[in-house]
Structures are given as structure tokens and as C-alpha cells.
């Protein structure tokens, strides 16, 4: 088929928006945008729409927000539209084989890793947490398994020592939009050669919970610096000083020998906070108290001194 495709788009977070915008600016026709329901957020629990809904309505598209993608009503809606393709990026629900079979030319997923590495819902965070120096985007022909379909195209992206999950998400969102358009053009020209994934190389990137952000001080300083970056912005790396919960940002490893228990504040220069780890020391550059602002460590310590020998949990 060399004609533009009739597409149904499915996505939810801000990560999905650049791909939606790229499709809007392409020759293809978007018949419907599907996203998750509005949900309460923040301390006030105010109900807010997902970023894809906001962007789609601004672009003038009809938006559907089913509670479940398994309902007969949702399936019938897709069947009435009879799309050529489903394009799915971070929608947030597993689609049934029945849904995936509706589009004439199948369903394409835009996934934020170099599959089969990091199948699952949090590939960007886990790439940083594991200290990888490279990740990327994969477009994949969807099937019933979790991120197991044939690979269509890939694009690589370097991970720097300064990258947080937030900065990497932004870059990969743009890369994903570009790769999806390249995939559609290759598909129209009959130049795609789907490649089955090697399941023996597969790894899984599970969803992170809020409790996962608690800093495991027994790990090495290098691992913990990556941990802090991978947990930014959510769920955020945190530790406890007594009953006080402190959120940690922007930390650097120092490969020095330590003779105290991990989590213990060690001697350092004024306006500096270094903590012993399982191997080396971690220098904390920014910190935030439970009800305060995110501060440079020297500004925080001026009002909240943390003497050597103090232990974080």
C-alpha cells in the first residue's frame, strides 16, 4: 500500500505526545486518539486529563478514554473505524489479540529500549539504574506477548553520566516520533524486514513503585549515583534521617575506602555532604526536605546541619 494510512493512535503520558504530533504533521489520517481515563493527582487529588488527551484535543481529534481496552464497546468502536494500523506508545494497558487483529496491516508499538532488552513498562529508568551507556527506540509489530513482537526498526541513543530519567525521556520521546514516521514510510514502500526477537537475550523492566526510591546504601557509590539519576523525577531517590524523609538529587561517586557502615555521614569539606556506601562515598549535591524546596546542599546544611557520624536509613 502506497497510500496514506488510516491510523488509530493509543498513548497516555507526555512521552507519547511527540509521536502524536508527528502523525498529525504527516500525510497519514488519524481517525481516533485513545488514552487512559482522567485521574486524580497531587496532594489535592484534583482530577486531571492525561497529556495525550490535552494534546489531541488541541489538535482537534476525537478522544476515547475507555476504562478497559477489553470491553465489547471499545472493540466494536475500533471495528467500525476499520483502521489500517494501530500505533501504540506507552498506552498503559495490554491489548488483547482481538484488538490487535482489527487493523488491516497490524499494530505497531514504539518502545523505549533496544529490544529484546528491557521489555516492560519502565525501560528508560532501568537502563540508567543498571549503568548502561546506551539505549534507544524500537518499533515493533505487536503480538499478544509483552513487547515480544518482531522488530521493525531501531535507533540508538547514548546515555551520559549527567542524564536523569527525565532528560533521557525527553530525548527518546523525540527519537520515537522520528522512528515511527520512518517505519511508516518504509512500510508504505514495502521496505520493512521484520526480525524476530531473540528471547534468550530478553530482560524485563518492571514498573517502579514509590517505595523503590529508598536509597540502598549498601550498594556502591557508583551504583547509587546511577540510582539517583534513574529515579529522577519519579519515584525520586530518598532516605530517612530519623523520621524525616529527605529526597536526594544530583549525587556523585568518590571511589575511596570507607571504614564505617553504609549510610553514615563522613568527614568532608564545609558545605559538602558525603555518605559512606558499600564501596566508596556518595557526595550529595542537592537535597529536599519533606516540606521544603529543592536546595543546593550548602544552602540546606546552613539551616539543617548534618554532622559526621549521622546515619541515614
Parallel/antiparallel/unpaired status of strands 244-254 and 281-288: antiparallel
Locate the domains of the chain by residue range.
Answer: 6-201, 210-303
Asked if 35 and 50 touch (Cβ cutoff 8 Å), the reply is yes
The CATH homologous superfamily to which domain 210-303 belongs is Formyl transferase, C-terminal domain (3.10.25.10)
Q: Which residues, 6+ apart, have CB-to-CB distance to 75 below 8 Å?
A: 98, 99, 102
pLDDT value at 2 more than 80: no
Query: How confident is the model over 90-123, as pLDDT tens digits?
Result: 999 999 999 999 999 999 999 999 999 999 999 9
> How many CA atoms, within 13 angstroms, populate the side-chain half-sphere of residue 78?
29
pLDDT at 1: 61
**DSSP string of 248-296, one letter each residue:** EEEEEEE-----S-TTBEE---TT-EEEE-SBSEEEEEEEE-TTS-EEE
Query: How confident is the model over 10-63, as pLDDT tens digits?
Result: 999 999 999 999 999 999 999 999 999 999 987 778 999 999 999 999 999 999
Share of the chain above pLDDT 90, in %: 94
pLDDT band, very low/low/confident/very high, at 142 (cuts 50, 70, 90): very high
Query: How confident is the model over 206-218, as pLDDT tens digits?
Result: 999 999 999 999 9
pLDDT value at 223 more than 90: yes
Considering the chain, what is the average pLDDT of its residues? 96
pLDDT at 276: 98
The 8-class DSSP code of residue 244 comes to: E
Mean pLDDT value of segment 128-133: 97
User: Can you give the pTM of this predicted structure?
Assistant: 0.95
Q: Specify whether domain 6-201 bears CATH 3.40.50.170.
A: yes
Amino acid at each position: 500500500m502506497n497510500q496514506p494510512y488510516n491510523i488509530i493512535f493509543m498513548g497516555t503520558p507526555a512521552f507519547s505526545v511527540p509521536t502524536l504530533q508527528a502523525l498529525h504533521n504527516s500525510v497519514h489520517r488519524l481517525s481516533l486518539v485513545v488514552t487512559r481515563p482522567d485521574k486524580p493527582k497531587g496532594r489535592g487529588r484534583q482530577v486531571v486529563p492525561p497529556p495525550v488527551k490535552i494534546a489531541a484535543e488541541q489538535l482537534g481529534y476525537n478522544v476515547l478514554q475507555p476504562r478497559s481496552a477489553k470491553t465489547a464497546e471499545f472493540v466494536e468502536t475500533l471495528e467500525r473505524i476499520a483502521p489500517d494500523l494501530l500505533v501504540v506508545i506507552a498506552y498503559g494497558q495490554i491489548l488483547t489479540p482481538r484488538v490487535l487483529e482489527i487493523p488491516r496491516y497490524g499494530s505497531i508499538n514504539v518502545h523505549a529500549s533496544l529490544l529484546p532488552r528491557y521489555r516492560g513498562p519502565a525501560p528508560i529508568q532501568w537502563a540508567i539504574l543498571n549503568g548502561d551507556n546506551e539505549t534507544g527506540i524500537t518499533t515493533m509489530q505487536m503480538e499478544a506477548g509483552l513487547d515480544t513482537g518482531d522488530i521493525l526498526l531501531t535507533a540508538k541513543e547514548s546515555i551520559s553520566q549527567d542524564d536523569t530519567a527525565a532528560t533521557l525521556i525527553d530525548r527518546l520521546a523525540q527519537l520515537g516520533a522520528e522512528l515511527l514516521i520512518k517505519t511508516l514510510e518504509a512500510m508504505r514502500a514495502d521496505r520493512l524486514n521484520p526480525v524476530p526477537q531473540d528471547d534468550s537475550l530478553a530482560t524485563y523492566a518492571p514498573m517502579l513503585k514509590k517505595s523503590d526510591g529508598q536509597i540502598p546504601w549498601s550498594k556502591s557509590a557508583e551504583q547509587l549515583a546511577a540510582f539517583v539519576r534513574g529515579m529522577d523525577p519519579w519515584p525520586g531517590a530518598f532516605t530517612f534521617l530519623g523520621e524525616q524523609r529527605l529526597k536526594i538529587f544530583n549525587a556523585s561517586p568518590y571511589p575511596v575506602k570507607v571504614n564505617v557502615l553504609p549510610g553514615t555521614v563522613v568527614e568532608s569539606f564545609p558545605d559538602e555532604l558525603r555518605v559512606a556506601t558499600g564501596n566508596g562515598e556518595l557526595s550529595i549535591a542537592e537535597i529536599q526536605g519533606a516540606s521544603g524546596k529543592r536546595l543546593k546542599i550548602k544552602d540546606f546544611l546552613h539551616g539543617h546541619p548534618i554532622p559526621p557520624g549521622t546515619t541515614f536509613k
